[in-house]
Chain A
């Protein structure tokens, strides 16, 4: 995804909203006009996606003759071709690997860094925290040329690490900035009691803090995963070998390679959308809360 989330300035626990009260709204209900407006918005939002899904079931001749029509007859060949092509599955696998590595690094390094920043008292703590906050200021675009050359010199071109490591690095500031107040909000008594019982700070981190920070970790993890899954600029420069390319690169190259085969391209993009859509529906609350929490500032 593009930059918006990376510059967010979070405070407080992520997604702490006053519980939505299930009171009767004073101005409730909708007039026909309201529903008409809602319908218009839905149509405008959904139409492109629906067109792609349905277009995938049509032939190019059908698409040319009547762009707005329904499939008649329904043709599954386009979708079957995509699903049986090795390249589609390779792109998907590459995207999955890159996203999983990125997410793992972000979550592990992020929570580790956030822990002392949230729960230790030491000189220079705020300065150290400021380093991460300042990191929010640097977008990947600014560093892209040196990154490209650096990855090349490290021999990581066409490797998942060449994408995952820089992506994780650029996702870390937001992660720490979200997680730190989250960890701070865990009650102090918890730690005192653990210490009294003879648990070390590291033991506290493993046995108590980590399990309790689950929700926060899921939120930052989901954000990192979606960002990685959708990312284009960095993979575009780093992954030039088709064998190592991710789904967005695959969609882009398929669409220019088979530009004449509109139906085929629609089928390919439709299927490419599905993982993101499923993931979004499954994680909707997390994504929404994460973004809202991240922006509450």
Chain B
């Protein structure tokens, strides 16, 4: 829905704003004009315009070039050397760092973990987030309070949230005592210490942290569903659940797909939370590409190798983004919004 709504809004902007703000347009410049008059004369030359464009864009472009473009190119360059960051970078090894990374068990398990996290994030957060968004879209008491509460974890720093969760999950911490209180004391585990379950524990914390974003975006999408549809459906005798299933959720499609994209990219770059919760351990059970990269790069000073890992991380992100764009988002980018067939 998001796309359709934006398309419509921008469409009306073009048509409507000039008329709407014509009054303001008349007023604003007049107040500014007296100060400007006198010093100015006539139209500026093309050269002057060029100079202005350069003046306005140069600072941003310079910053972008220095701290984004150059480092990214450098990463590619470093990745072909064996280099510890000190001394001359003269041990050219070609693609050896790449083959080493791709055949390294820890790195391949890091890639697997990232993929597992992508899939689980979507499988868990989509139904949960959708459910909560639909819930909050009803006129229930304390709705705005609920919105604020659910979005709160997203605003907290990963580190702060992570440190609290480490304490919650420690043996005999709050989580264990909740299990005890429910009579499930036998199920308590070394939540972050057992290699078999640590990744799933991390998943729970990630869900807690990022569910709010999904809810927020879905709610925004729901606002774009016209009221009339609900009324029409109700007149036709549809139940609440039927309306959600057949109308609301399909109309929310574009929002859901956009969220899925953001969630995927976020999962691929996951670092902060894992670094705080487990540091990638125990026994590399939760290592991600980013924690592996930092581990190799700054802790072991294998800068060439770590750069190769960074380039692979970027490559995987790019490939997944393109695939997603091609197979999932493409339907949203197609020209005319037409009613989609709802699957039964």
Which positions in A face B, CB cutoff 8 Å? 1-5, 7-9, 11-13, 16-18, 20-21, 23-30, 34-35, 37-38, 41-42, 44-49, 51-52, 55, 64, 66-68, 105, 108-110, 112-113, 115-117, 120, 122, 128, 131-132, 135, 137-139, 141-150, 165-166, 168-170, 172-173, 176, 181, 185, 187-190, 193-194, 196-203, 205, 207-208, 212, 226, 229-230, 232-233, 236-237, 247-249, 251-252, 255, 262, 265-266, 269, 272-273, 276-277, 279-281, 284, 287-288, 291-292, 295-297
Contact = CB atoms under 8 A, between A and B. Distances in A.
Interface residues of B, number: 130
B68 interface: yes
A145 B75 contact: yes
B283 interface: no
CB-CB nearest 9 A-B residue pairs? A197-B33, A169-B67, A146-B74, A30-B140, A143-B71, A113-B60, A230-B157, A146-B71, A248-B159
Main secondary structure of the interface of A (DSSP, over half): helix
Interface in B168-220: 168, 170, 172-174, 176-178, 181, 208, 210, 212-213, 216-217, 220
A295 B217 contact: yes
Given A172-B64, A295-B258, A13 B13 contact: yes
B29 interface: yes
A146 B81 CA distance: 13
B160 to A, nearest CB: 5
A21 B131 CA distance: 22
A29 B24 CA distance: 41
B154 A1 contact: yes
B155 A207 contact: no
B220 A208 contact: no
A141 B313 contact: yes
A17 B52 CA distance: 34
A135 B307 CA distance: 19
Contacts of B146: 38, 41-42
B56 A116 contact: yes
A46, A200, A212: which has the most chain B beta carbons within 10 Å?
Answer: A200
A27 B230 contact: yes
Given A1-B154, A199-B36, A193 B172 contact: no
Contacts of A272: 157, 160
Contacts of B96: none
A42 B149 contact: yes
Interface in B233-288: 233-234, 240, 243, 255, 258-259, 261-263, 265-266, 269-273, 275-276
Contacts of A12: 6, 9-10, 13
B156 interface: yes
A197 B29 CA distance: 7
Contacts of A11: 6, 10
Contact of A200 (B44, B71, B178, B313): B44
